[in-house]
Structure 1
Amino acid sequence: MAGPTLDFWQQRFERGQTPWDRGAPHPQLQAWLAAGVLRAGQRVLVPGCGSGHELVVLAGRGLQVRGLDYAPAAVEQARARVRAAGLGDAPPVAVEQADVLDWQPAEAEVPDVVYEQTCLCALHPDHWQRYAAQLALWLRPGGLLLALFMQARRESAGGGMVEGPPYHGDINAMRALFPSTLWDWPAPPYAATAHEQGWQELAVALRRR
């Protein structure tokens, strides 16, 4: 499998080497909540949930939340964060270890919304088409994909190198990955959120056709 291994991610979480973690929920998630894009009672799936900041804020706003992560250490940290918030391990918050390239929801747990913040940019681009196909399967027509496309272009890209994680989510590549035949795209420009690591993320809300 191209890209980071399970051991790679497990070691990062065990050692606290998680520079992508802001230590708080993403500002754009807060903006989507404030704008009413997300509503109480909706089922929200968070692939690549990491240590679970977003799970807590979503559940606190009355949404039914399920987080997925590849690394057992991340799952443990997310569950601990949920417990510390007084939300418990049972619904409306569930956290499970899973490979997003294979995982499928139960019929009764098909999400209304997928919050895609760190999963796509953590996957090697060789796996992007498979992951995009998964997202299209997870969401029924009308479902919402709230995507934060990582902008982390490196100078070596000019020579054809593919470096990451995080892997750069060029907007043209994202348009090809999530074609308008399957997804309704809002008109640009898209809000950009800066990261202290020097990256930024473009916020795009895509609706499944």
Structure 2
Amino acid sequence: MAGPTQEFWQTRFARKELPWDRGEANPQLHAWLATHAIEPGARILVPGCGRGWEVAELTAAGMRVTGIDYAAGAIDACAALLAERGLEAELVQADVLGWQPEMPADAIWEQTCLCALHPDHWLAYASQLHRWLRPGGMLYAMFMQTPGEAATTGIIEGPPYHCDIRAMRALFPSGRWEWPKPPYPRLTHPTGGHELAVPLVRRSFIETDSSK
């Protein structure tokens, strides 16, 4: 498997080497919750949930949350945070490329999982996200931006891997996903890059070119 292994992530959590961790939920999540963009009671998935800041925030806001992570250390940390706050959510240790929910979700919070996966796996992961959501469901995507000199020469560096917005448009095509108009909110990230906040709607059908 190209990219970081399960052992890589487990070691990071065991040693508490988590440079991406803000120590709180993503500010954009607070913004979307404040505007009721994510409706209370929604069934929402959080792949790559890590220590669980967003899992806890969404659960406290009345969502039915499932947190998924590759590393047992992440699931343990998330469970501890929930217990500390008197909250309950479903937690699953699994490979997101193979796991399937029992029923389609209303929404997905995609913040750290895509940029943690080697780009070789992006197509498979994007198909998973489409499969996990009900038609009309929301994908709240935080696309990591880490452009650098290596990217201009074709070298792939990560994690986190650079989620160039043009690559994201190809990965989540308009025939499957409804894109909002840019510009998109930009948030600084602890690793030194920034994220673009893009809420996508899963279309209920695949559009075709009517001119053909």
TM-score, structure 1 length as denominator? 0.96
CA RMSD of superposed structures (Å)? 0.7
SS in 1 for 2:91: strand
Q: Does 1:146 align with 2:133?
A: no
How far has the Cα of 1:140 moved from its partner?
A: 1.4
C-alpha contact (below 8 Å) 1:154/1:163 kept by paired residues: no
> What is the aligned length?
203
Which amino acid in 2 is paired with 1:172? Answer: R
Please point out which of 88, 94, 108 is paired with 2:90: 94
Q: Give the Cα separation in 2 of the matches to 1:51 and 1:198.
A: 20
Report what 2:66 is aligned to.
66
Q: Does 1:127 align with 2:121?
A: yes
Report what 1:104 is aligned to.
100
Gaps of 5+ in 1: none
Q: Give the Cα separation in 2 of the matches to 1:152 and 1:46.
A: 22
Q: How does 1:178-193 map to 2 (within 5 A)?
A: 178-193=172-187
Please point out which of 182, 202, 208 is paired with 2:202: 208
Report what 1:46 is aligned to.
46
- Comparing 161-170 with 32-41, greater Cα deviation is found at 32-41
Q: Give the Cα separation in 2 of the matches to 1:2 and 1:146.
A: 26
Q: Give the Cα separation in 2 of the matches to 1:13 and 1:165.
A: 15
Which amino acid in 2 is paired with 1:190? Answer: Y
Question: Identity across aligned pairs (percent)?
Answer: 57
SS in 2 for 1:202: strand
C-alpha contact (below 8 Å) 2:21/2:190 kept by paired residues: no
How far has the Cα of 1:197 moved from its partner?
A: 2.4
Provide, for residues 128-149 of structure 1, a one-character-per-residue CA deviation record: whole Å limited to 9, x for no partner: 0000000010111100000000
SS in 1 for 2:140: strand
Q: How does 1:149-168 map to 2 (within 5 A)?
A: 149-168=143-162
Report what 1:6 is aligned to.
6
Provide, for residues 69-118 of structure 1, a one-character-per-residue CA deviation record: whole Å limited to 9, x for no partner: 00000010001111111114xxxx111101000000103xx210000000
Report what 2:85 is aligned to.
85
How far has the Cα of 1:196 moved from its partner?
A: 3.1
Runs (4+) off by over 4 Å = none
Gaps of 5+ in 2: 204-212
TM-score, structure 2 length as denominator? 0.94
Q: Does 1:177 align with 2:171?
A: yes
